Chain A
């Protein structure tokens, strides 16, 4: 009897989907995905979550709810940090416990990454393999392969984006955001749709060369310790000369973004930037108006300097 594992397509799925898929495929585990985020997912999640939670987390709960009953257990990673200077948001620290307490009846599969406490990613995956009844060695082999494919995938995205940057003309926009916000089809679809209608091309902060981005973030925000925010901030600096404008995409009541975006807006002055805050309200007109005026401004600016 094959184990059926449910993977919520939210939060870190947009960062580690290849890693997870390959790893579990190696272990011969059947995967079920919760599907793309819809209005319904969001509505269900909002009902389940404490109302002050950030929007991506509410959506995440909606995805877990969608998987309830369809699988043997649900994958909830718990990621604390990748080192002292690469922390994750508190959201991910408490992800396992909040989901466990919200859905006491749903069996969860988890892995815990906290490099500061000596629990690296490889070790965490080996432990998870053991929990599933495989040997640590099998786990490690599966992880090694999955890791390789994940890195290849990231590199592929990076090359693709580089090509697109060189090839496309017209207005180019960098979306600097947490990956789960930038790539969630519910937002991304609407955003890219509006932008492409206005003749702009979009690029993503997490599809830059990540290691370089982290280094590039240092002069702007020396004390910054959130891994994913570092990439977003660094990406702005890296692509500054190649794009026409930056959209700081953030979700309502996102903890790290509230501080980091404030700092970015105050410290990076030589490129037009707009902060777009997404919440549960789905009024398209507001988004449309703001994006239109931003693109108009960029067009004017381009003509002026051309």
Chain B
């Protein structure tokens, strides 16, 4: 074990702030080094040493790990359940070792996601970890996740209609900064009250008729904006309300609360792996709520989401509502995506009879 533990973890959206806080709470003596923000270089590095037809998140994670290790990290975190995501850890560890890095990989996957095993695993790098601190750190992180998802969800739905340009963006950045500094439960409560109030104060001018688009699909592509070319922002620019149920809080708490097979109303009979069934249920919920279109995103070759696609197509046919399927890999041709998105927006706005300015 090296003298100074330097933790790092792959990026996913803005959750690195919470993960940073979590590791800080778990190991007060250790250093936390979130990987540098994802750039084209990250994904190039990652793709170079990853298997060919593995899904894109694997390659993004690899890029993050390499950049973090180069910056001096020596303990990496990984998780995984549901699909082949659960097997990422073992393969990534081997690849990084073959590249000549010296590190420890803490893989909280499958049976290690249970509290007891997770505790044992996390304790293996620092014997000073106590169950009390472990529990507190995770509960605090969970609370933070809930708050962050709530705030980001509100922003996502309203940012397209802001009266003052960039007012939401500025508040969002401020919020992330404050969240980074939050260390205790009372601080978090104060933060929640403050930002709920401030968000409500931001002016929005919603037209009488506007478009609403729901986003469903594979979790990484949805939650990491770099991997979907900031699709949500692009949509918001055309004054569209964007909704997305998929988030870390949904994955951690919301998934068990409902029974997707009953809710999918005959479109599915069994679980189809990872978040496949959730995509179908969420898509159906959006259609039931009268959304104008749904965008289904996944990384190339994601089996659970491919399993969901025949059901999604039937949903689209039965409801007469459009779904656009987007598949992302590591190539960075932004123009192709923009063209398709523009066409989709034009199509749904014509369908609804509003012409966007």
Decide: B310 and A223 in contact? CB cutoff 8 A.
no
Among the listed stretches A178-186, A235-243, A258-266, which one makes contact with chain B, having 4 or more residues with CB under 8 Å of it? A258-266
Q: Is B327 an interface residue (CB 8 A)?
A: yes
Write the A36-58 contact mask toward B (1 if CB under 8 angstroms, else 0). Answer: 00000000000000101110000
Decide: A97 and B90 in contact? CB cutoff 8 A.
no
Bound-complex Cα distance A225 to B91 (A): 13
Nearest residue, chain A, Cβ from B311: A101
Nearest residue, chain A, Cβ from B264: A97
Decide: B87 and A225 in contact? CB cutoff 8 A.
yes
Decide: B272 and A101 in contact? CB cutoff 8 A.
no
Count chain A residues whose beta carbon lies closer than 8 angstroms to a beta carbon of B.
41
A255 shortest CB reach to chain B, Å? 5
How many residue pairs bridge A and B at CB < 8 Å? Answer: 116
Q: Is A253 an interface residue (CB 8 A)?
A: yes
Q: Is B98 an interface residue (CB 8 A)?
A: yes
Q: Is B269 an interface residue (CB 8 A)?
A: yes
B223 shortest CB reach to chain A, Å? 20
Q: Is A294 an interface residue (CB 8 A)?
A: no
Chain A residues with CB under 8 A of B89: 223
Q: Is B274 an interface residue (CB 8 A)?
A: yes
Q: Is A126 an interface residue (CB 8 A)?
A: no
Q: Is A91 an interface residue (CB 8 A)?
A: yes
B257 shortest CB reach to chain A, Å? 18
Q: Is B52 an interface residue (CB 8 A)?
A: yes
Decide: B310 and A98 in contact? CB cutoff 8 A.
yes
Bound-complex Cα distance A102 to B307 (A): 11
Decide: A84 and B51 in contact? CB cutoff 8 A.
no
Bound-complex Cα distance A102 to B95 (A): 38
Write the B306-317 contact mask toward A (1 if CB under 8 angstroms, else 0). Answer: 111111011000
> Residue among B109, B307, B327 with the most chain A CB within 10 A?
B307
Chain B residues with CB under 8 A of A50: 306, 309-310
Nearest residue, chain B, Cβ from A256: B84
Decide: A100 and B309 in contact? CB cutoff 8 A.
no
Write the A184-199 contact mask toward B (1 if CB under 8 angstroms, else 0). Answer: 0000000000000000
Bound-complex Cα distance A254 to B51 (A): 12
Count chain B residues whose beta carbon lies closer than 8 angstroms to a beta carbon of A.
42
Write the B96-116 contact mask toward A (1 if CB under 8 angstroms, else 0). Answer: 001000000001011100000
A20 shortest CB reach to chain B, Å? 19
Decide: B314 and A101 in contact? CB cutoff 8 A.
yes
Q: Which 6 A-B pairs have the closest CB atoms?
A: A94-B307, A90-B273, A94-B272, A101-B310, A90-B303, A262-B51
- Additional pairs, 10, CB under 8 Å, beyond known A223-B110, A258-B53, A258-B54: A97-B267, A97-B268, A98-B272, A253-B53, A255-B84, A255-B303, A256-B84, A262-B54, A262-B94, A263-B90
Residues of B at the A interface (CB closer than 8 Å) are 51-54, 58, 83-84, 86-91, 94-95, 98, 107, 109-111, 267-274, 276, 300-301, 303-304, 306-311, 313-314, 327
Can you spell out 21 A-B residue pairs with CB atoms less than 8 angstroms apart? A50-B306, A52-B300, A52-B306, A80-B271, A90-B83, A90-B84, A90-B273, A93-B272, A96-B270, A97-B311, A98-B272, A221-B90, A223-B110, A224-B87, A224-B90, A254-B53, A258-B52, A258-B54, A260-B87, A261-B51, A263-B91
Residues of A at the B interface (CB closer than 8 Å) are 50, 52-54, 78, 80, 84, 89-91, 93-94, 96-98, 100-102, 104, 110, 112, 221-226, 252-256, 258-263, 266-267, 277
